[in-house]
């Protein structure tokens, strides 16, 4: 309803806009949607009270609209020749009143629900009697041509009230409830062009050739300046925006078979980096807007769904239910979200109803998933040959006499030779089905949807199954009160494969399992397939049963009161209940010496309850030359959660899995509970002067329970200015720009996403043992920090919005510079304090960059349309200051410290030694300044960076970082008749991925299997300068070998769609049907050696640890067929 109120307002402005702009031809149209909304805002009564003499008809219409909620729809010139009316009516039924006022007019009218279409009476000579037809007085000489057709939206849903006009004339009509239209146009003259227009959609011009049937699909207009953009606590016309906001359309969201809606942003919005961190179905996706600016307080943007901050994960929103996603990037746009705005805000709106008969649409996707690539590893013979070689080398080094493990016969003819990747992978199937029903009457509109999806990963037991339902209602109770309610429920049943990074991880076992081990041992149980005692991937897949079942119920209530003409009050409440049960059961025989205990069952239950209440006043005022709108409000938020974790071992039978835990022994139990609260006050004023100068001032005060007693509240102001240069004479006179806007903004936003209770001292229970008994100790486990406060991000943004060639080319360019201060960092402190880290506000990080987005209409023809969208994003990140200038902070380690935070370098810089090659002979060792005394030919040669003659930790250096220098996306959309071809490409350039797999798979021979590259090891002078001789004892070091270029270009989506012709569909009573075949992620171009350069396997720091690959879940590509039907 919030949307309604503002749309309403903007409609009025929309009219004025239409009048002024030649773009909308010679007609002024009142467009249906907004009309509905308009009607919606009014009370409804079925009688009319009106008296007056010689009142212009328009005025009568508007009075009737006010009183009854009906809406008149007409072309402006229709009323040119009408007479003023004199009428006296006291509570006369509408129909009767209409008959009265139209009595002597050259007009016809048709009542459709609450809409009254007013058209010119057909000229008496002609026997045309079609309603909705409209023609000029002058009778055409040749016989008129009758054009029929149907208009649907991008989902295939018929669109009512789309205006169709003949360019250069006043001939026009509207589509009916079924989206159909019929229009007679004069037969004479040269080429004719029909213009299709509808609010919030792109106008289309179709040249009429010989065809008499025209079916078209209207695309939502990202391009139209009249487009409404949802911003925090309100909506704005795109043309009025002062901030940097990108919209992703419904069509784009729905093209991809995604589980997490954030994936729809990938490659679609400049400035936004979306990484699919785990390719496990439903796996972790991280979104970064304009670079990482925090280490410990998170970098994920705030998601606002239907006005409420999301809690519980985006995966619980069905992408098919989303009608728009807006990414708010600069401080002007995000400051209204204050302490949660620093990482940007993504605003998501879900479906809403439309007045009219129920519209039903069904969509079904069927897909198959295949692993993107296999990684070549040694086969059994190669493995054994190198195993022997390692022993021989080791004997040579220390003069030992270890017997070689394999005979030549065993090497040449291994008893088994397993390709574990073949054994563990499967072709996964996916299905996704949605039914949506929308509709409504005068008082209430509704939208509902049901969704079932299931997605199998490329491992046998990984599966995502989701059932979702949604009902969005909106009701006008009186001309003062409006009420809305949304309810959504989702259940997810997620079968997980073990990806813990210990040895019992399926992706790890996949590559490390030795090829000469059988799948099952002599007793028929899964064999141990590594020298570390870990199971094979098959054993882990079959022997471990893990799943997570999550239920999420979200309910919203929204109440709007129209307090005065310009003032409304809105109060909203949101409750989010979630319950998740993780269970894991290890079957008999699936124990591994590496630490899985069989017949162990575990259940973890998590519950959370969150509520939000927001109350705000909106004031809208149009003055002569300017408009003001203002928002002032308060918000309250509370979250509470608890969890219970139970596990037992030695369950006697596999039969009941985790459902009979009481039959096990050694129970381990833990439980915990926590909560947080946020209280905020906010305000914003938009001032628009003369449609040229736009000002926005925003302020928010946020109080968070998470911060120190001395810093509970944080204050976040911002200001912005935009200048619509294209409205200025001197620009208009150039005739070059159809749109030109300059934007500038500056503001402060915050970040508070740290854990709860971090500012308090924490005396926690810790259990230990005395006298063989458990005894509960209590000790201080956290130093208090009463000064703990918000991270503050100061951001400056300059941008231009440019439209050329009648908006056929649109360009958006932004430069930003944001500096995050008071970085929340869990930083090391002297351990003599008894503690090793403390969460403190120290240091600052800067992100600077350019964003550019270009949209072009290359060809716009009735039969053939081609559009291209392109975006590119350049970001530079550096750490400006830290606790002490010279203190390096190491965030992650694997064998050695792995990622370093250092002043002057980017967050996410990788750290290690530089490999110079392999010592070929003793001379080379002797000549190398930093030869370790113990080096031998065949050992790795590292660079002595500090030149002190020793290779040690001081010789580590920065090997690259995980911030791409460039991120880009390009999409092309071609339509030819009923055919549609869509190709989307995205990629990253100038980024490093730390491929940790070779640390194990190249440098740790004989313990595990190795990559095929190990065949290129050094085994004599000149044999290799990249890989060391094989050994039993390996000295493991992170080095330049592991920092691989992670640039890639991926064809995300190629899809070909075909819309069945309406002539065929009408026989089977369908409005529309479209079949689409897509290839998803099918082609990836990269030099990266792991499964996928888009990877992050470190779960602890998320964004900062991007680009670490250790046993990542392999990525997959898919083929999909979709069918979209509208009834």
Partner 1 sequence: MKFRYIAFWSVGILLFSSCKKFLKEKPLTFLNTVTFYKNEADLNSALYALYQAQNTYYDGEAYAEMFWVIWELPSDQSYPNEGAGVSDNLKIDNYNFDPEIKYYDRWWRTAYKIISRSNDVIKNVPGMPISDEKKNLAIAEARFLRGQAYFELVMGWGDVPLVDETTVEFFPVRNSATEVYAFVIEDLKFASQYLPALWPDNEYGRATKFAAKSYLAKLYLTMAGFPIQDQSKYALAAQEAKEVVDQGPYSLYPDVADNWNPTVSPMEQIYIVDKTRAAGNGSYFDSYWAPRNKNELAAEAGVNLVGAFLPNEDFYAEYPDDDPRKKKFFMTEVTSFMDPSLTLTLDQVTVRKYWTPLYSNGNDQDLVRLRLAEILLIQAEAENEVNGPTTQAYDALNAVRSRAYGDASHNYAGLSKDQFREAVWLERALELCFEGVRWSDMVRTRKYKGSSVFDYINAAGVSPLEKNLLFPISTPEMSTNENLLQNPGY
Residues 823-852 that bind partner 1 (CB under 8 A): 828-836
Q: Does position 1063 bind partner 1 by CB under 8 A? A: no
Give the contact letters, 481-520, x = binds to partner 1 (CB under 8 A), - = no: ----------------------------------------
Which of 408, 653, 666, 806 touches partner 1 by CB under 8 A? 666
Which of 768, 1063, 1069, 1100 touches partner 1 by CB under 8 A? 768
The encoded tokens of residue 568 equal 């409304």
Q: What is the DSSP string of 294-307?
A: -SSS--PPEEEETT
Q: How far is the CB of 781 from partner 1 (least distance, A)?
A: 8
**Interaction with partner 1 in 533-552: which residues (CB under 8 A)?**
533
Of 552, 394, 406, 360, residue with least CA distance to 467: 552
Q: How far is the CB of 570 from partner 1 (least distance, A)?
A: 10
Tell me the helices (H) and strands (E) count for the chain, helix number first.
15, 56
Of 611, 589, 699, residue with least CA distance to 336: 699
Q: Does position 703 bind partner 1 by CB under 8 A? A: yes
Return d(Cα 211, Cα 148) in angstroms, integer. 10
# binding residues, partner 1 (CB under 8 A) = 102
Which C-beta is closer to partner 1: that of 798 or that of 890? Answer: 890
Q: How far is the CB of 256 from partner 1 (least distance, A)?
A: 41
Q: How far is the CB of 834 from partner 1 (least distance, A)?
A: 2
Which of 47, 679, 858, 972 touches partner 1 by CB under 8 A? 679
**Which region, judged by CB under 8 A, interacts with partner 1, from 95-103, 264-272, 280-288, 758-766?**
758-766
Return d(Cα 9, Cα 631) in angstroms, integer. 15
Which of 357, 734, 766, 929 touches partner 1 by CB under 8 A? 766
Which of 124, 142, 735, 776 touches partner 1 by CB under 8 A? 776
**Which region, judged by CB under 8 A, interacts with partner 1, from 318-326, 350-358, 439-447, 634-642?**
634-642
795 forms bridges with which residues in the sheet? Answer: 747, 818
Return d(Cα 865, Cα 22) in angstroms, integer. 23
Return d(Cα 960, Cα 914) in angstroms, integer. 12
* Structural contact between residues 549 and 621, judged by C-beta atoms closer than 8 angstroms: no
**Which region, judged by CB under 8 A, interacts with partner 1, from 185-193, 269-277, 378-386, 635-643?**
635-643
The encoded tokens of residue 901 equal 């935070």
Q: Does position 958 bind partner 1 by CB under 8 A? A: no
Which C-beta is closer to partner 1: that of 503 or that of 537? Answer: 503
Return d(Cα 696, Cα 684) in angstroms, integer. 7
**Which region, judged by CB under 8 A, interacts with partner 1, from 11-19, 542-550, 880-888, 1021-1029?**
880-888
Which C-beta is closer to partner 1: that of 618 or that of 1074? Answer: 618
Which C-beta is closer to partner 1: that of 22 or that of 399? Answer: 399
**Interaction with partner 1 in 993-1052: which residues (CB under 8 A)?**
1004, 1006-1007, 1032-1037
Give the contact letters, 445-484, x = binds to partner 1 (CB under 8 A), - = no: -----------------------------------x----
Return d(Cα 954, Cα 950) in angstroms, integer. 9
Return d(Cα 938, Cα 941) in angstroms, integer. 9
Which of 344, 353, 430, 633 touches partner 1 by CB under 8 A? 633
Q: How far is the CB of 841 from partner 1 (least distance, A)?
A: 16
Of 72, 36, 78, 33, residue with least CA distance to 198: 33
**Interaction with partner 1 in 381-400: which residues (CB under 8 A)?**
394, 398
Which of 594, 978, 990, 1045 touches partner 1 by CB under 8 A? 594
Cα separations in angstroms, 897 against 9, 500, 755, 1043, 1107: 58, 20, 25, 14, 15
Give 893's contacts (C-beta < 8 A, 6+ positions apart): none
Return d(Cα 739, Cα 806) in angstroms, integer. 8
Return d(Cα 1005, Cα 877) in angstroms, integer. 38
| CA distance from start to end of the chain | 27
Q: How far is the CB of 305 from partner 1 (least distance, A)?
A: 22
Q: Does position 677 bind partner 1 by CB under 8 A? A: yes
Q: How far is the CB of 522 from partner 1 (least distance, A)?
A: 12
The encoded tokens of residue 661 equal 């835990």
Q: Does position 646 bind partner 1 by CB under 8 A? A: no
Q: Does position 616 bind partner 1 by CB under 8 A? A: yes
Q: Does position 91 bind partner 1 by CB under 8 A? A: no
Which of 188, 674, 710, 923 touches partner 1 by CB under 8 A? 674
Q: How far is the CB of 571 from partner 1 (least distance, A)?
A: 6
Q: Does position 922 bind partner 1 by CB under 8 A? A: no
The encoded tokens of residue 795 equal 């951001």
Return d(Cα 892, Cα 1095) in angstroms, integer. 16
- The DSSP 8-state label assigned to residue 543 in this structure reads H
Q: How far is the CB of 338 from partner 1 (least distance, A)?
A: 14
Give Cα 1009 distance to the centre of its chain: 38
Which of 101, 411, 492, 528 touches partner 1 by CB under 8 A? 528
Which of 362, 557, 561, 744 touches partner 1 by CB under 8 A? 561
**Which region, judged by CB under 8 A, interacts with partner 1, from 271-279, 364-372, 893-901, 1084-1092?**
893-901
* Structural contact between residues 182 and 133, judged by C-beta atoms closer than 8 angstroms: yes
Q: Is 189 left (phi over 0), alpha (psi -120 to 50) or beta?
A: left
The encoded tokens of residue 117 equal 């279409």
Q: How far is the CB of 814 from partner 1 (least distance, A)?
A: 34
**Interaction with partner 1 in 398-427: which residues (CB under 8 A)?**
398, 402
Cα Rg of the chain, angstroms: 34
Return d(Cα 860, Cα 796) in angstroms, integer. 38
Which of 416, 477, 775, 1121 touches partner 1 by CB under 8 A? 775
Which of 129, 190, 191, 769 touches partner 1 by CB under 8 A? 769
Return d(Cα 979, Cα 717) in angstroms, integer. 50
Of 263, 469, 228, residue with least CA distance to 349: 228
Rounded to the nearest 10°, the torsion over CA 874, 336, 340, 843 is 60
Q: How far is the CB of 788 from partner 1 (least distance, A)?
A: 11
**Which region, judged by CB under 8 A, interacts with partner 1, from 468-476, 595-603, 720-728, 960-968?**
595-603
Of 1054, 1042, 1053, 1061, residue with least CA distance to 998: 1042
Using DSSP, state whether 452 is helix, strand or coil.
strand
**Which region, judged by CB under 8 A, interacts with partner 1, from 69-77, 124-132, 558-566, 747-755?**
558-566
Return d(Cα 292, Cα 1103) in angstroms, integer. 7
């Amino acid at each position: 309803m919030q949307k309604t109120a503002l749309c309403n307002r903007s409609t009025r402005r929309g009219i004025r806009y239409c009048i002024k702009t030649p773009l909308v031809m010679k007609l002024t149209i009142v467009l249906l949607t907004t009309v509905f909304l308009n009607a919606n805002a009014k009370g409804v009564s079925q009688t009319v009270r009106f008296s007056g003499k010689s009142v212009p008809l328009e005025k009568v219409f508007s009075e009737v609209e006010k009183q009854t909620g009906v809406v008149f729809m007409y072309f402006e010139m229709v009323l040119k020749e009408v007479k003023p009316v004199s009428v006296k009516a006291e509570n006369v039924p509408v129909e009767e009143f209409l008959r009265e006022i139209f009595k002597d007019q050259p007009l016809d009218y048709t009542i459709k629900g609450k809409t009254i279409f007013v058209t010119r009476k057909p000229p008496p000579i002609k026997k045309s009697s079609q309603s909705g037809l409209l023609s000029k007085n002058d009778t055409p000489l040749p016989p008129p041509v009758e054009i029929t057709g149907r208009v649907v939206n991008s989902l295939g849903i018929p669109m009512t009230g789309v205006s169709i006009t003949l360019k250069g004339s006043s001939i026009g009509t509207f589509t009916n409830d079924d989206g159909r239209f019929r229009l007679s146009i004069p037969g004479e003259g040269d080429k004719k062009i029909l213009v299709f227009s509808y609010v919030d959609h792109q106008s289309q011009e179709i040249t009429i050739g010989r065809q008499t049937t025209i079916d078209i699909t209207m695309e939502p207009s990202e391009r139209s300046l009249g487009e409404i953009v949802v911003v925090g606590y309100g909506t704005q016309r795109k043309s009025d925006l002062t901030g940097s906001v990108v919209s992703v359309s419904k069509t784009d969201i729905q093209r991809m078979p995604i589980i997490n809606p954030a994936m729809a942003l990938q490659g679609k919005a400049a400035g936004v980096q979306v990484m699919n961190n785990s390719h496990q179905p439903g796996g972790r996706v991280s979104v970064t807007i304009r670079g990482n600016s925090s280490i410990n307080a998170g970098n994920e943007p705030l998601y606002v769904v239907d006005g409420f901050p999301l809690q519980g994960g985006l995966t619980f929103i069905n992408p098919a239910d989303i009608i728009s996603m807006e990414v708010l990037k600069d401080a002007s746009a995000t400051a209204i979200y204050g302490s949660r705005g620093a990482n940007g805000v993504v605003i998501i709106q879900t479906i809403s109803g439309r007045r009219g008969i129920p519209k039903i649409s069904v969509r079904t996707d069927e897909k198959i998933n295949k692993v993107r690539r296999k990684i070549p590893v040694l086969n059994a013979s190669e493995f054994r040959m190198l195993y022997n070689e390692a022993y021989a080398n080791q004997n040579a080094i220390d003069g030992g006499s270890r017997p070689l493990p394999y005979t030549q016969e065993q090497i040449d003819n291994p008893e088994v030779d397993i390709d574990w990747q073949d054994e563990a992978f499967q072709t996964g199937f996916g299905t996704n089905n949605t039914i949506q029903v929308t509709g409504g009457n005068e008082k209430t509109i509704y939208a509902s949807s049901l969704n079932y999806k299931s997605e199998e990963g490329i491992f046998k037991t990984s599966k995502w199954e989701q059932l979702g339902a949604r009902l969005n209602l909106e009701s006008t109770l009186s001309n003062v009160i409006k009420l809305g309610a949304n309810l959504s429920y989702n259940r997810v049943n997620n079968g997980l494969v073990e990806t813990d990074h210990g040895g019992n991880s399926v992706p790890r076992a996949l590559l490390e399992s030795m090829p000469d081990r059988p799948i099952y041992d002599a007793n028929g149980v899964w064999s141990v397939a590594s020298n570390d005692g870990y199971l094979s991937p098959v054993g882990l897949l079959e022997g471990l049963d893990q799943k997570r079942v999550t239920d999420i119920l979200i309910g919203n209530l929204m109440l709007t009161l129209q307090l005065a003409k310009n003032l409304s009050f809105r109060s909203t409440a949101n409750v989010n209940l979630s319950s998740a049960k993780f269970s894991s059961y290890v079957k008999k025989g699936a124990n591994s010496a590496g630490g899985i205990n069989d017949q162990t069952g575990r259940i973890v239950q998590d519950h959370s309850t969150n509520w939000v209440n927001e109350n705000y006043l909106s004031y809208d005022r149009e003055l002569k030359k300017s408009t003001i709108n203002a928002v002032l409000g308060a918000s309250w938020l509370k979250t509470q959660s608890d969890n219970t974790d139970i596990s037992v071992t030695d369950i006697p039978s596999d039969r009941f899995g985790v459902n009979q835990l009481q039959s096990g022994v050694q129970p381990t139990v833990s439980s915990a509970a926590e909560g947080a609260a946020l209280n905020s006050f906010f305000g914003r004023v938009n001032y628009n002067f003369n449609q040229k100068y736009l000002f926005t001032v925003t302020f928010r005060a946020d109080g968070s329970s998470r911060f120190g007693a001395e810093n509970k509240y944080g204050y976040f102001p911002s200001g912005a200015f935009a200048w619509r240069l294209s409205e200025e004479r001197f620009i208009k006179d150039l005739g070059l720009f159809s749109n030109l806007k300059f934007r500038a903004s500056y503001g402060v936003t915050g970040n508070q996403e740290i854990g709860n209770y971090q500012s308090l001292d924490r005396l926690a229970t810790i259990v230990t043992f005395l006298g063989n008994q458990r005894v509960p100790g209590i000790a201080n486990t956290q130093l208090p920090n009463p000064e703990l406060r918000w991270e503050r991000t100061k951001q400056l943004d300059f941008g231009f919005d440019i439209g050329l060639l009648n908006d056929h080319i649109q360009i958006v360019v932004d430069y930003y510079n944001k500096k995050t201060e008071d970085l929340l960092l869990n930083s090391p402190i002297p351990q003599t304090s008894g503690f090793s880290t403390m969460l403190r506000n120290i240091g600052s990080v800067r992100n600077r960059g350019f964003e550019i987005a270009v949209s072009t209409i290359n060809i716009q023809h009735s039969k053939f349309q081609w559009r291209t969208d392109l975006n590119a994003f350049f970001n530079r990140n550096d750490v400006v200051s830290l606790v002490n200038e010279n203190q390096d902070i190491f965030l992650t380690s694997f064998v050695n410290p792995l990622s370093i935070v250092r002043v002057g370098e980017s967050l996410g810089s990788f750290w290690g030694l530089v490999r110079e090659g392999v010592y070929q002979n003793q001379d080379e060792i002797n000549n190398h300044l930093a030869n370790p005394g113990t080096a031998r030919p065949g050992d790795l040669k590292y660079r002595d960076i500090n030149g002190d003659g020793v290779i040690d930790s001081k010789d580590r250096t920065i090997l690259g970082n995980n911030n791409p220098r460039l991120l880009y996306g390009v999409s092309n959309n071609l339509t030819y008749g009923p055919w549609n071809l869509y190709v989307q490409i995205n990629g990253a350039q100038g980024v490093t991925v730390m491929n940790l797999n070779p640390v194990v798979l190249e440098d740790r021979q004989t313990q595990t299997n190795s990559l095929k590259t190990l065949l290129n090891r050094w085994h004599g002078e000149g044999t290799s300068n990249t890989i060391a001789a094989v050994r039993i004892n390996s000295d493991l070091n992170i080095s330049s070998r592991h920092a691989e270029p992670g640039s890639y270009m991926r064809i995300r989506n190629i899809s070909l769609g075909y819309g069945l012709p309406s002539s065929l569909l009408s026989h089977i009573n369908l409005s529309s049907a479209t079949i689409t075949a897509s290839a998803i992620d099918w082609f990836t171009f990269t030099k990266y050696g792991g499964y996928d350069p888009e990877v992050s396997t470190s779960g602890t720091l998320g964004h900062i640890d991007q680009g670490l690959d250790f046993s990542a879940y392999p990525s997959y590509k898919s083929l999909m067929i979709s069918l979209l039907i509208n009834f």
